[in-house]
Amino acid sequence: MTATVATSDLINLLRDARARTHELITDLSDEQMVPPKLATVNPLLWEIGHVAYFYEFFILRQLYGREPIIANADQIYDSINISHEVRWDLPVLSREKTYQYMRDVLEALVDRLEGDEASEQDSFIYQFGAFHEGMHDEAFLWARQTFGYQAPVLKDAIIGSSIKTSAGNGFVEIPGGRWLLGSPKDAPYLFDNEKWGHDVQIKPFRIARTAVSNSEFSAFVDDQGYAREENWSTDGWQWLQQNEVKHPVYWRQEGPQQWSERRFDRWAPLDPNHAVIHVCAHEADAYCRWAGVRLPSEVEWEVACLALPDGNGFSDDGRRFPWGSAKPTTDQANLDSLRLGSIDVGAMAEGDSPFGCRQMIGNVWEWTANTFGPFPGFAPDSYEDYSQPLFGDTRVLRGGAWTTRSHYVNAKYRNYFEPDRRDVFAGFRVCKDAS
């Protein structure tokens, strides 16, 4: 059951999502809107049309019987039935006509909302559409990073604002106990792969207070970590050899143990205290072998983020964030692209979890040890291909990155990517068994 939402809040959510989309694409040239074909990036001109189509198909057409705004939209923008490889070859709308299509769909969505409070059905599907647009906004950012486009200009950016940092390294001890992994049926909003909350017994463990930093990861690189097979899983070593990988994807060496990092179209010295980012699960696993640690399971990650110390164990008060139930503030989490980059792993003590883990929401997505799969009782929602086609082939990430919209991310949210993906804004924190 989805909690109902005021119609004014739904409209504001839709408009905010659309405003961010425009901020991320309007400064790009027509050539940049259709970048070279790449397995991990869509042509952006196609992608913004797909965002509008998603709303139109799942809300206006499927639920409310509207006629298509564009007669052949199913043959152009349906991501379920149109393979990634052919999206560059489709007769997509021109840029101006795509913008008009986006406006037409948004106006139709707003016009059909009536009354002060939306129905449960509208509350769910309108939020899902806006969240889906937010996920594509994150994809627009990794496309800009992948191709070395200029950084976007965001009207609400707080670049250059001071951020307090404090000591946060080391490990915290977390006792064993039972935890409700996944979301309960009375959650205010949830995605289908969170169905349903189920008890999991975990053993005591230790988890790092902070994500792995650039300085920590560069020590692995400088110690020939990429060249030593014993650091790598069988799949990881095969990936490494096939792709001739020697360091994180956007790093380059300037001298002995001196690295720089490309951020969009500019190179800058690697900040040693920022969280390492744009590393794949294979790289995270290899670092862990080298350092004598491991990645946390997703239930360990969730306990470290949400559980409350309770005598010799822990308890669950139903919170969705490390600090409680309130939505994130800019002092608690680095989200919404407002800082246009990752930050020091010791920053934002205001967002610490009850056990003392920092930045478990925002800054970088965090790889876990789990293959993405269904929870007991799983059933797909109306967008049947949101989760289940990726079960078994992808790895779970948690927590959100600086690029993630605060509208939908929380500590129960499960993201998932192939373990060799380096373009997404992912890092990791480490874990070990209790001493």
**pTM higher than the cut 0.75:** yes
Phi/psi for 143 (5° steps) reads -65, -45
**Contact at 8 Å (CB) between 353 and 322?**
yes
Residue 260 reports pLDDT greater than 70: yes
CATH pick for 7-146 out of 3.30.160.270, 3.40.50.2300, 1.20.58.340, 1.20.120.450: 1.20.120.450
Instruction: Determine the pLDDT at residue 159.
Output: 74
Summarised one tens digit per residue, pLDDT across range 8-30 is 999 999 999 999 999 999 999 99
**Positions of CATH 3.90.1580.10 in the chain:** 158-435
Distance CA(190)–CA(227), nearest Å, equals 42
For the segment 48-77, the average pLDDT, to the nearest whole number, is: 96
Helices (H) and strands (E) in the chain, counts: 9, 14
Instruction: Determine the pLDDT at residue 42.
Output: 96
Instruction: Determine the pLDDT at residue 311.
Output: 82
Residue 316 reports pLDDT greater than 90: yes
Instruction: Determine the pLDDT at residue 158.
Output: 87
Instruction: Determine the pLDDT at residue 23.
Output: 97
Which residues, 6+ apart, have CB-to-CB distance to 29 below 8 Å? none
Residue 162 reports pLDDT greater than 70: no
Residue 169 reports pLDDT greater than 90: no
For the segment 344-361, the average pLDDT, to the nearest whole number, is: 96
**Positions of CATH 1.20.120.450 in the chain:** 7-146
- With cut-offs at 50, 70 and 90, classify the pLDDT of residue 168: low
For the segment 262-270, the average pLDDT, to the nearest whole number, is: 97
Concatenating the DSSP letter of every residue in 183-230 gives --TT-SS--GGG---EEEEE--EEEESSPPBHHHHHHHHHTTTTT-GG
- With cut-offs at 50, 70 and 90, classify the pLDDT of residue 296: very high
Residue 212 reports pLDDT greater than 90: yes
Residue 85 reports pLDDT greater than 80: yes
Q: Could you tell me what percent of the chain has a pLDDT over 90? A: 91
Report the DSSP pairing between strands 258-263 and 266-269: antiparallel
Verify cis geometry, omega within 30 degrees of 0, for the bond prior to 290: no
* Distances, alpha carbon 342 to alpha carbons 288, 320, 406, in Å: 21, 22, 15
**Contact at 8 Å (CB) between 331 and 348?**
yes
For the segment 163-176, the average pLDDT, to the nearest whole number, is: 83
- With cut-offs at 50, 70 and 90, classify the pLDDT of residue 118: very high
Summarised one tens digit per residue, pLDDT across range 320-352 is 999 999 999 999 999 999 999 999 999 999 999
Instruction: Determine the pLDDT at residue 382.
Output: 82
Concatenating the DSSP letter of every residue in 377-410 gives T----SSTTSSGGGTTTSEEEES--TTS-TTT--
Is 114 exposed, middle or buried (CB count within 10 Å of its CB: 0-12, 13-18, 19+)?
exposed
Which residues, 6+ apart, have CB-to-CB distance to 307 below 8 Å? 174, 179, 314, 315, 316, 353, 354, 355
Which residues, 6+ apart, have CB-to-CB distance to 432 below 8 Å? 171, 205, 206, 207, 292, 293, 294
- With cut-offs at 50, 70 and 90, classify the pLDDT of residue 167: low
Instruction: Determine the pLDDT at residue 242.
Output: 96
Nearest-10 Cα torsion for 404, 410, 414, 418: 20
∠ CA 107-109-110 to the nearest 5 degrees?
Answer: 65
**Contact at 8 Å (CB) between 302 and 178?**
no
Does residue 168 or residue 10 have the better pLDDT?
Answer: 10
Average pLDDT, the chain: 95
For the segment 271-292, the average pLDDT, to the nearest whole number, is: 97
**3-class secondary-structure state, position 255:** strand
Report the DSSP pairing between strands 171-174 and 177-181: unpaired
- The string over 191-214, giving b where at least 16 C-beta atoms fall within 10 Å of a residue's C-beta and e elsewhere, is bbbbbbbeebebeebbbbbbbbbb
- The string over 154-180, giving b where at least 16 C-beta atoms fall within 10 Å of a residue's C-beta and e elsewhere, is beebeeeeeeeeeebeebbebbebebb
CATH pick for 158-435 out of 3.90.1580.10, 3.40.50.300, 3.30.465.10, 1.10.287.110: 3.90.1580.10
Beta carbons within 10 angstroms of residue 435's beta carbon: 8
**Contact at 8 Å (CB) between 125 and 382?**
yes
For the segment 282-311, the average pLDDT, to the nearest whole number, is: 97
Instruction: Determine the pLDDT at residue 160.
Output: 62
**Contact at 8 Å (CB) between 286 and 232?**
yes
